[in-house]
Amino acid sequence: ESKEKDKFEGTWRLFKLAVPLHEDPGKDSLHVSDALLQQIARVLKFPVASMLPAEAFTVVRKSFDARKKLKEPKFVHTVDMDVQKLISLEPRCWDFISRLEPKVGLVERVHDERDFSDLESIFRECKENKEAVLAGGNGHSTFSTELCKNQATRKPKIAVVGSGPSGLFAALVLAQLGADVTLIERGQPVERRGRDIGALIVRRILELESNFCFGEGGAGTWSDGKLVTRIGRNSGSVLAIMKTLVQFGAPEQILIDGKPHLGTDKLVPLLRNFRQHLQDLGVTIKFGTRVDDLVIKDGHVLGVMVSESADKSRLTSKKMEYDAVILAVGHSARDTYEVLHAHNVELIPKDFAVGLRIEHPQELINNIQYAELASEVCHGRGKIPVADYKVANYIDNEDFYEVSNSGVANRSCYSFCMCPGGQVVLTSTSPSEICVNGMSFSRRASKWANAALVVTVTTKDFEALNYFGPLAGVKFQREFEQRAAMMGGGNFVVPVQTVTDFLENKLSVTSVPPSSYRLGVKAANLHQLFPMHITEALKHSLVTFEEELPGFICNEALLHGVETRTSSPIQIPRNIDSYESTSVKGLYPVGEGAGYAGGIISAAVDGMHAGFAVAKRFSLFHGDV
């Protein structure tokens, strides 16, 4: 029997445990409710649910499912079952466990491989090993005498440029593993950045170095703080990031929510805690300091030239020497791209997407998604989450066979960065350009729902406008941002058009519905913004989105121009394992700006991996990540 028991020992994961909405105890309860125990009992074929000890189960995911074909909306759970604990608390379970059959996607055994998600224990282990080696003891095999020599001479000096998610996590890993880290950020700490953003919204003062894109926390700080990612929600790396965010103050709920999000009000204190932790680890943080140039000799980076961000002339630029430079500058650091280009660092133009931001009343989206249940949404306070949506349309040749040469076909149009209960914000980094995005607070309680509707573009599109070379995509973005600024008439006023007028190609003169955008909107014909094929792709897709979400096309739906910074327009090639640039030694391009991430979580994961790769390069870490 003991052999049999070994077979079932450890953790088992039970999927798709559905609890009807009315039986769910409330969204803040992570505990295993009686209703959930009923579902677990059903899977185990255990006759009396109330006899199952709740302590043996842990909820690892909880998602709301309100698809229209369901009789009743439900919360769908994934639950981990600790078999040993279960049997010790309720031995009568053994008979049922021993009959459990694994089924992919329903009942799976969780394998106990060393999990990268446990970042804390990696750091602890490294520290203990390092101390053991330095004390002359029998250190762990992963730490060699090389480390000793290295440590005896001096710690490697690493510059991390940019304090967005990728830079923060690279700095964290390197500091934990013993490097001498300086974090250089052109923008301001969150407290001052908040005031600068306030001045932008209230007095139309755009601080060039402290705004929605630049400053502590990077582009995603004044955002919706969605923590969803396409890089594998259950991967160890993603869990490591999530757990670290919880350590710095994010609610534990994010570890479980099917669609976790934080909101600006939660992100700001979290970043303050993150900063404090880095400083406690000895990281030097330089805010208001911009990297103006790289110091490169014989193909090796030797350091950076920095100046105070306030110094527009860059005359005060001074040299700082480093053993390695991690470049985590995000996709709006266009001046930094030019510096790289001037040094012949290889840059490859990358496909991305451009379009418009659509805004609806949130109530309308709740009605579309939840029908009669919409009245129970309670502005983010109730059990039912404020409704979101995600739409996508691939335009193939058949849709546009008669104009297949016009360039409409073979593109995708999709919603992006949807912010339920949010507001449209200005993400320009120059007063002569307009680009927008969306943010929200944790409760998502505003009366607006916005999302980008964007169409994929490639180098062919850049070339059609006579933009060539590695920075063609940046020039392409800037072209539409400047056009949008002109159409708005200046002063950060955003050009808008109702969806119905956009479909009919006419100016929304009589009644422009209200917008959440605080700096003013002006009616314009957005057909004059993009080349015809992008406009056509948007129009065609809007019609298909209406089929999926009836009511999506309506007079209250307002399109805002322009959404251009969906992801990086370039990629900076790097070696797969070492993360080092293929053109300059000692330079480590990471995160969204380098073309390796597309959101808060993926940027953080990339920064974390780069941190380990650089630590490995300097023999601070010998493990596998």
Residues near ligand FAD (CB under 6 A) are 161-167, 184-187, 212-215, 218-220, 223-226, 290-291, 328-330, 333, 336, 417, 425, 427, 437, 439, 591-593, 597, 599-601, 603
**Closer residue to ligand FAD in complex, CB, 21/208:** 208
Burial of 141 (0-12, 13-18, 19+ CB in 10 A): exposed
Judge whether 431 and 418 are in contact, CB under 8 Å: no
Give the shortest CB-349-to-ligand FAD separation in angstroms.
Answer: 18
Q: How far apart are the first and last CA of the chain?
A: 38
Instruction: Identify which of 197, 219, 471 has the alpha carbon closest to the alpha carbon of residue 335.
Output: 471
Please report which helix (H) or strand (E) contains residue 125, including its range: helix 119-134
Tokens of 119: 């970042």
What is the spatial distance between Cα 562 and Cα 590, in angstroms, rounded to a whole number?
26
In the complex with ligand FAD, the residue whose CB is nearer, 33 or 477, is 477
Q: How far apart are CA 20 and CA 66, in angstroms?
A: 10
Which residues does 338 contact at the CB level (< 8 Å), separation at least 6?
A: 471
Nearer to ligand FAD by C-beta: 17 or 219? 219
Which of residues 421 and 593 has its CB atom nearest to ligand FAD in the complex? 593
| Cα distance between residue 323 and residue 156, in whole Å | 6
User: 359 or 399: whose CB is closer to ligand FAD?
Assistant: 359
d(CA 559, CA 501): 10
Of 78 and 427, the one with the shorter C-beta distance to ligand FAD is 427
Question: How many degrees, rounded to 5, is the angle at CA 244 between CA 75 and CA 590?
Answer: 110
Select 77 or 290, whichever has its Cβ closest to ligand FAD.
290
Gap between the Cα atoms of 18 and 90, Å rounded: 24
Shorter beta-carbon distance to ligand FAD: residue 194 or 593: 593
CB of 248 to ligand FAD, least distance (A): 16
> Residue 299 CB, nearest distance to ligand FAD (Å)?
21
- The nearest distance, CB 210 to ligand FAD, in angstroms, is 8
CB of 554 to ligand FAD, least distance (A): 25
Shortest separation between residue 443's beta carbon and ligand FAD, angstroms: 15
Residue 32 or 168 with smaller CB distance to ligand FAD: 168
CB of 514 to ligand FAD, least distance (A): 20
Q: Considering beta carbons, is residue 73 or 589 the nearer one to ligand FAD?
A: 589
- CA 364 remoteness from chain centre: 26
Q: CB of 609: closest distance to ligand FAD in angstroms?
A: 13
Rounded to a whole number of angstroms, the minimum distance from the CB of residue 104 to ligand FAD is: 29
β-pairing verdict for 348-349 and 180-184: unpaired
As measured in angstroms, the least distance from the Cβ of 205 to ligand FAD is 18
Contacts of 420 (CB under 8 A, 6+ apart): 224, 362, 365, 385, 386, 387, 388, 440, 444, 449
Cis amide prior to 562 (ω within 30 degrees): yes
Residue with Cβ nearer ligand FAD (59 or 386): 386
Amino acid letter at 318? K
Encoded tokens for 218: 């990077």
Instruction: Say if residues 323 and 586 touch (Cβ distance below 8 Å).
Output: yes
Point out which residues pair with 440 in neighbouring strands: 422
Residue 12's DSSP bridge partners are: 81, 109
Smallest gap from Cβ 231 to ligand FAD, in A, equals 11
Query: Is 453 in contact with 413 (CB distance < 8 Å)?
Result: yes
DSSP state letter for 103: B
CA distance 175 to 185: 17
Q: Looking at beta carbons only, is 393 or 450 nearer to ligand FAD? A: 450
What 3-state class would DSSP assign to 445?
Answer: coil
The answer to whether 177 and 615 have CB atoms below 8 angstroms apart is yes
Q: How many helices (H) and strands (E) does the chain have?
A: 17, 23
CA 225 – CA 461 distance, rounded (Å): 31
Q: Which is nearer to ligand FAD, 437 or 508 (CB)?
A: 437
Q: Answer whether 191's CB lies under 8 Å from 216's CB.
A: no
Closest separation between CB of residue 183 and ligand FAD, Å?
A: 9
Q: Whole-number minimum distance, CB 564 to ligand FAD, in Å? A: 11
The edge-to-edge listing of strands for the beta sheet with 392-395 is: 392-395, 411-419, 448-457, 352-361, 558-563, 494-498, 521-523
Task: Between 320 and 601, name the residue whose CB sits nearer to ligand FAD.
Answer: 601
Q: Please give the Cα distance from 221 to 212 (Å, whole number).
A: 8
According to DSSP, residue 606 is labeled: H
Least distance CB 289 / ligand FAD (angstroms): 7
